[in-house]
Amino acid sequence: MSCTLENKRLRFETPEWIGTVALDSTGNMLRLFHKKTQMEILRQPESEEALKESPMVYGIPLLFPPNRIRDGVFRADGREFRFAVNEADTHCALHGIVIGREFELKSTEENESLLRIAAVYRFDAERPEFAGFPCPFTAEIIYEIRASGMTHFLRIHNDGDRALPLGVGFHTAFAAPDEENVRIEVPHRPEGAWRIDAVRHLPDGSVRPWSETEKEILSGKRSVSGVGFSAMYRQPETNRTARIHRKNGTVRYEFDSKYTHGACWNQGGTRGFFCIEPMSWMTDAPNVPLPAEVSGFALLPAHETAEYASLITVE
């Protein structure tokens, strides 16, 4: 095994895998290459400029909070929280306050069967966003690479003395080369997806039926490329393993039950990638007129830690 750090990029190689972690961009694993099948698992940026412009559509970037917040504001625990409105067309705050930020390398550990990489980001009063979200926290991302696959942990520790509104997600961008006719199987509830406003791209709390195109794509009957689709939904109670059928093998993406919501989309179906997006709360959860047990809205008590896990393997 080897692990080298240069210009905020940590590059690693094991007998089975090659990868890159971008400490300068959300501690994001930008590359994960499976040697046996010669598959690039994740979508990689074409250039440094592309990554800086859109850090949320490459690799496995952390969103905190995920997706959109209506008008960039919500109330919780007797306080008002404000985020910069960075999407003019919808007048929403989009993708949270961690995306694209620089993480610190906490540690690397290795033995004959495991390579472990940990990176951290500390959010405190020194950060410009703290005035609107006065909740100090530490985000720690851990990658554990074994012969069998890559386990991805996220830990959020509340460093403050008051509860912290806690919503996290990952824009996991998988490569989908057009020539491979990639098909996916994504677990989803039969009743449908959240109904999303066409102008502001926000849920109203009601459920719509799946379209025929969505049914075909999510059940592996139609290629993920060539036609655009986007859906947000509650995760099923049990099955949380997606399968991505590529030319040389099948990628499995499994996530734990704390990711209660999800999204799947492909940005028009012409970009050579698609996203499976696990989220702990739904889009705009603090503002949606639904109970917390449905929306996923949560508060992390003072000085406590929440942990989330997912796993990528190749069959």
**What's the rounded mean pLDDT across residues 48-52?**
96
134 in Cβ contact with 76 (< 8 Å) = no
pLDDT for 163 beyond 90: yes
Residue 2 phi, psi dihedral angles, 5° rounding: -140, 150
Instruction: Please state, in angstroms and rounded to a whole number, the distance separating the CA atoms of residues 298 and 113.
Output: 36
**Residue 1 has what pLDDT?**
80
Q: How far is CA 179 from CA 4, 175, 224, 288, in A?
A: 33, 12, 12, 40
| Residue boundaries of the structural domains of the chain | 2-314
Q: Secondary structure of the chain in the HEC alphabet?
A: CEEEEECCEEEEECCCEEEEEECCCCCEEEEEEECCCCEECECCCCCHHHHHHCHHHCCCCEEECCCEEECCEEEECCEEEECCCCECCCCEEECECCCCCCCEEEEEEECCCCEEEEEEEEECCCCHHHHCCCCCEEEEEEEEEECCEEEEEEEEEECCCCCEECCCEECEEEECCHHHCCEEECCCCCCCEEEECCCCCCEEEEEECCCHHHHHHHECCCCCCCCCCEEEEECCCCCCEEEEECCCCEEEEEECCCCCEEEEECHHHCCCEEEEEEECCCCCCCCCCCCHHHHCCCEECCCCEEEEEEEEEEC
**What's the rounded mean pLDDT across residues 194-222?**
97
**Which residue, among 306, 263, 314, has the nearest Cα to 57 in the 3D structure?**
263
141-152 residue pLDDT tens: 999 999 999 999
283-306 residue pLDDT tens: 999 999 999 999 999 999 999 999
117-133 residue pLDDT tens: 999 999 999 999 999 99
Query: Candidates 1.10.10.10, 3.40.50.80, 2.70.98.10, 2.160.10.10; correct CATH number of 2-314?
Result: 2.70.98.10
Query: Maximum CA pair distance of the chain?
Result: 54
> Beta-carbon neighbour count of residue 199 at 10 Å?
9
**What's the rounded mean pLDDT across residues 45-51?**
96
64-82 residue pLDDT tens: 999 999 999 999 999 999 9
Q: What integer best gives the mean pLDDT of the chain? A: 97
> Beta-carbon neighbour count of residue 290 at 10 Å?
17
Q: How far is CA 137 from CA 70, 119, 127, 260, 267, in A?
A: 23, 14, 11, 22, 32
